[in-house]
Structures are given as C-alpha cells and as structure tokens.
Chains A and B, each alone.
Chain A
Amino acid sequence: MKLTLKIWRQKNAQAKGKLVTYQLDDISPDMSFLEMLDVLNQKLIIEGDDPVAFDNDCREGICGMCSLYIGGRAHGHETETTVCQLHMRSFDDGQTVTIEPWRAKALPVIKDLVVDRGAFDRIIQAGGFVSTKTGAPQDANALPIPKQDADKAMDAAACIGCGACVASCKNASAMLFVSAKISQLALLPQGQPERDKRALAMVHQMDMEGFGNCTNEGECEAECPKAIKMTNIARLFREYYRATFTYEEQ
C-alpha cells in the first residue's frame, strides 16, 4: 500500500506547529496504524529527521495512551477501537490521511501528537474515589449488589481515560469522562457516602480545567472506544442537581 500522510508537527508546547506531508510506500495491510507510524519513524531516523512523537503503550486497546485524530475522527474511522486496534487494511491504497493531536485547551500539546492529559488525573483526584483505607473492610459479599447495577457500573468503569470524548466533542467537553466515574460510583453502594461531595468536587475541577460544555450532540458516545453512553452524562446532571440542592457542606 502507498499512503500520503499529513501529520501535525510541533517541536514543543510553545512552538507553532504545522501539518507536514510524508509519503510511505510498502505498507502492509496487516499493520496496525501505530506500526505504520513506526515504519515512518524508522525511515525518518535513518534519513536524519526527527521522528514523529506519539503516545502509545499497551497496543491492545486498554491503556488509553494512544490518542490520534485520524482523518477528522478520534482514533480513526472505526467504531469502538483505539488507534492501536486500527489496521491499515481499512484504508485505501493511495489514500491521504491527516493525523492531528487531540485539540483542547485543557489537553495542551507537548510535542507533535502528544498531549498532556493531567487534567483527567486532577479531576479524579478531586473526588473520583471511595475513601476507604487499606485494612480490613467487611467481607466482599456482605453487600449484595444487583447484577444489573454491577453491570451498569462496569459499563461506565470501562473508561480508559484516553480523551477521545474531549477530542471529538466540538466544545472539547469532558462530561463523558467525568460522568463515567460519577456513574460507576453512584450506581454502587460503596459510592453512596461520598456521592454528593464527589459530584460537586469533580464538576468543579472539570470546570476549572477549561473544558467546554456538553451540547448533547453525542460525538463523544460515537467515538468512545469503550462505548460509554450519554445516559451517563444525564446521570452526572442528576447527581450534580441532587448534590447542589440537598448536600450541606460542613
């Protein structure tokens, strides 16, 4: 396969970036998209150029590290996949492919296609946990949890924190990410004691980070590699209203 790549190159956070065009021949359809970029980088290194920086790690769709905006879509054109699970056979021979980093004020570019997702960590630090100490909690089966609740919590907990929701949202909103954690813990009995405090704290942190607002257009849901649904965002709203109107801060 032959490909024309238009890749965002940006030396560092301060530098101005631009799209640079590269030609690649001899791409095997069995390669993953990241392996195709490996080939490009090997070529660039040998030719004395700076290879393209991009985040990747597990290459099996679970670590959430890879984060490329390919042909105008987060993680490329296939649904429920990450970039590392995207294969070259789904591209046409001779196709031109644009590769950009996630674009959001809250996820600034570090270099080329690498962005800083520290905002996600800070949101979790604000309240995305159950305050339980390591020790001897009660027996794991002491609290029965209805299977459907556990399953729904698991659906939400499947979030890999990649940021595709922010990247694909026209407002760069992080509400799908935040709602996934809020939902997981709101659905489980373990999450109840801090339910209100958590909703207030996480939303506050989300707002502070400079993400945009949800306009209910469902791009996030369509691009989420783990198929996390917008029903979670509605739950986030309910949790936030509940907390706002009933929770008394000490």
Chain B
Amino acid sequence: MLWLWNFLRSSIGKKLLMALTGLFFCSFLLVHLGGNMLMFVSADAFNAYTSIMSGAQVNKVLEVLMVVLFLIHIYTSATLTIENRAARPVKYAMDVSAGKRTFMSSNMFITGSIILIFVVFHLWGFKYGEWSNDPAAMSDPNNLTMFGLVAKSFSNVFYALGYTVAVIVLGFHLNHAFQSAFQTLGLNHNKYTPLIQKLGTLYSIVIALGFALGPVYFYFSQLNAGA
C-alpha cells in the first residue's frame, strides 16, 4: 500500500482529498439546509426532524465519519497552504491578477478558518446546547426545544448577525470550492465546465441565502412580536 501512501502525500493526492471531502460537505450542507427548511413548516416538524437526527444510532457513525473527513479537509488544506507559501519565499513588490483570482479564491484558508470557528461555535450552541425534544421535558416551562433554542438564539442581534455573516463567508468559500473540486477531479470539459461553474455559483447562493434565512427570520419575527 506504499503506492497509496505516496499518492496521498503527493500534491495531486492532497488536492484530491481536499476535493472529495469538500464535495462530501457540499452534499451534507444540502441535507442540512433541507432540514433547516422545516423550521418554516412548523415547530413540531423541525423538532421531530432534529430528534431523529440526534437520536438514530446510524447518525453516530456518520458523525464520526464527518469529524474524520473534516479533519482531513483541514489537515490537507493546512499542509497545502504551507507548501504554497513556501513555494514563493520572496514575494513580488508588485503583483496584479490577470486570471480568475479573487480576494476570496486566494484566501480560502482564511475563509476556511472562519468557517471552522463558526462550526465549533455552531455545534456548541446548538448540537451540544441546552435543549430537549423529549416529551417528558416538555412540561418544564424552562425547557427549550430545538426550535425554541433556535428562535431564542437568533433573537439576539449579535447572534443573528454573526450567523448571517458566517454563512455568507461560507457561500464565498463554496463558490470557489465547488467548481474547483470538479477541476481537481479532472472533470473539466469545454462542454460542461461552464455549466458546472454556473451551478457552483447557484449552489453557493442557495446555501448562503438558505442558511441566512433562519437567523434573519427569527430575528425579525421577534422584533415584530416585540412591537
């Protein structure tokens, strides 16, 4: 298996790991977004969904897998970034972009780091936050269901704003990542690549807007309720 180890250590091997783990998270985000949309169906529907997601044993396995993939994504991105910086020890005094380089595309590691911080915060606030969908706990007036926790959290202006900014950053990260992953997989063809690029942008907008909908909705609805 030395060949596999050599492959994974090679520049292209690392890029492939980045792309595959990235695409996995792209699909995960779609599922997550689908679940989030249940917030706008009803509180019960959303709570039922979150109960299933946090209860099923199979999801524990998925969680472990996700952590591993996430670590791989972070590790490869960190090593690639370090290597890329080292490849140009002396910087140009003047450097102008002529290609498709954007502020976001050349700062994927920074947007990635912001997303990492956000994810930790997000898990701590919601997944491991104080909530229970258990019917037994429902009688307790202080108990928050997941829906309740979400609604409460986002009524805080900083919380809502922070979330919105974070998911927009995520959108920009995805915009470069999506089409880039296809390129890394070797899927570049004059017939399909323009479509993939458009799809990537559409996907990033849907993800960013979709996830921003929660904080925006709850913040403004509590404002309305308060008024």
Contacts and interface: CB of A to CB of B under 8 A. Distances in A.
Interface residues of B, number: 45
A159 interface: no
Contacts of A223: 98-99
Contacts of A77: 96
Contact of A230 (B3, B86, B87, B188): B188
Given A230-B188, A234-B187, A105 B89 contact: yes
Nearest to B4: A244
A222 B98 contact: yes
B179 interface: yes
A172 B88 contact: yes
A219 B99 contact: yes
B185 A237 contact: yes
Interface stretch (A48-56, A57-65, A67-75): A67-75
Interface in A219-239: 219-223, 230-231, 233-238
A73 B98 contact: yes
A249 B193 CA distance: 34
Given A104-B88, A172-B88, A241-B16, A217 B101 contact: yes
A220 B3 contact: no
A215 B108 contact: yes
A95 interface: no
B12 interface: yes
A232 B84 CA distance: 21
B82 to A, nearest CB: 10
A104 B87 CA distance: 6
A106 to B, nearest CB: 7
Contacts, number: 140
A173 interface: yes
Interface stretch (A38-46, A121-129, A138-146, A202-210): A202-210
B133 interface: no
Contacts of B185: 237
Interface in B160-215: 176, 179-180, 183-190, 193
Contact of B15 (A168, A213, A230): A213
10 contacts: A72-B96, A170-B84, A172-B84, A211-B11, A213-B11, A215-B80, A216-B176, A218-B100, A231-B193, A237-B186
Interface of B: 3-4, 7, 10-16, 80, 83-84, 86-102, 105-106, 108, 176, 179-180, 183-190, 193
Given A168-B98, A217-B99, 7 more contacts: A71-B94, A173-B87, A216-B176, A222-B100, A234-B186, A234-B188, A237-B186
Interface of A: 6, 8, 19, 69, 71-73, 77, 79, 98, 100, 103-106, 168, 170-173, 175, 203-204, 206-207, 210-223, 230-231, 233-238, 240-241, 244, 249
